[in-house]
Amino acid sequence: MALTEEASNKVFGGYQKVFSHDSKEVGCRMRVGVYLPPQVEENKKLPVIYWLSGLTCSEANFIEKSGAQKYAAEYGVIIVNPDTSPRGLNLPGDSESWDFGVGAGFYVNATQEPWKKNYRMFSYVTSELPKLISDNFPVAEGLQSIMGHSMGGHGALICALKNPGMYKSVSAFAPICNPSACPWGIKALTGYLGSQEAAKWSDWDSTELVKKYNGPPLELLLDQGLEDNFLKSGQLLPENLMEACKSSGVPAILKKREGYNHSYFYIASFIGEHIKYHVEHLLSKKL
């Protein structure tokens, strides 16, 4: 599958690149960020961390605002961050609201018209994209982790829980933890999957997926700013996921950050901790 380089900037000894490619899963041209740390020059196979962004974001937000490149260079890890939805399709209603359609793919495989042909972000992230990355970059086989923010935190959690053993670790900043019980999630799942009665929303909800998780040991690392307006308005519901983890025996950590909100200022403050956490799991040793 051909990759076209759209941008390349040297940072912390490595290169932050942006590529585009034609995606079979979502039926349009997709953009994806790839940070290649300086260790790539040593002809080593490196671990990879996938980052999934939130509502309204593209691949650019994480690249420009997270500060992740510094830590990726320090630990010698490739970071891959795709766009959040198909673009340029002009499907009916895809640009009418900021929390559904363009920039809001919710990392599910849609089953409803007119979305089901293109809004297949789950398969894109877990199948097509990893193959694209392994075919084009020096990634170590089987050494991948996943993390994300908000809608992308939801995406990271369901990708890990629905694919036992695929990721060595998973973490999420301010994730939408129980989408079938919050306004954002109800809107997205109804639109992409149909009514809760007709569709299995539980297959796309980390709080429900934890209850039936059956795979290799997996710890969930959740991170939440306590001044997050979306936490206060009931969009995120981390307590529901933590309770489900406790009752199901799935280990989980919830880091509460006093004074921090939902923004990339918050993410940039703690992204180094998350990258270190993932690298420790990827290398199976304390750093």
Q: Which residues are catalytic?
A: 150, 228, 262
Per DSSP, helices labelled H in 125-253 are: 129-136, 151-162, 183-193, 206-211, 229-232, 238-248
Measured in whole angstroms, the distance separating CA 255 from the mean position of its chain's CA atoms is: 18
DSSP symbol at 198:
T
Sequence-ordered list of residues with C-beta below 8 angstroms from that of 52, at least 6 positions apart, any chain = 81, 82, 84, 107, 125, 146, 147, 148, 149, 151, 152, 153, 155, 156, 159
Q: Could you tell me if residue 174 is left (phi over 0), alpha (psi between -120 and 50 degrees) or otherwise beta?
A: left
SS3 assignment, position 150: coil
Tokens 């599958």 correspond to: 1
DSSP symbol at 169:
-
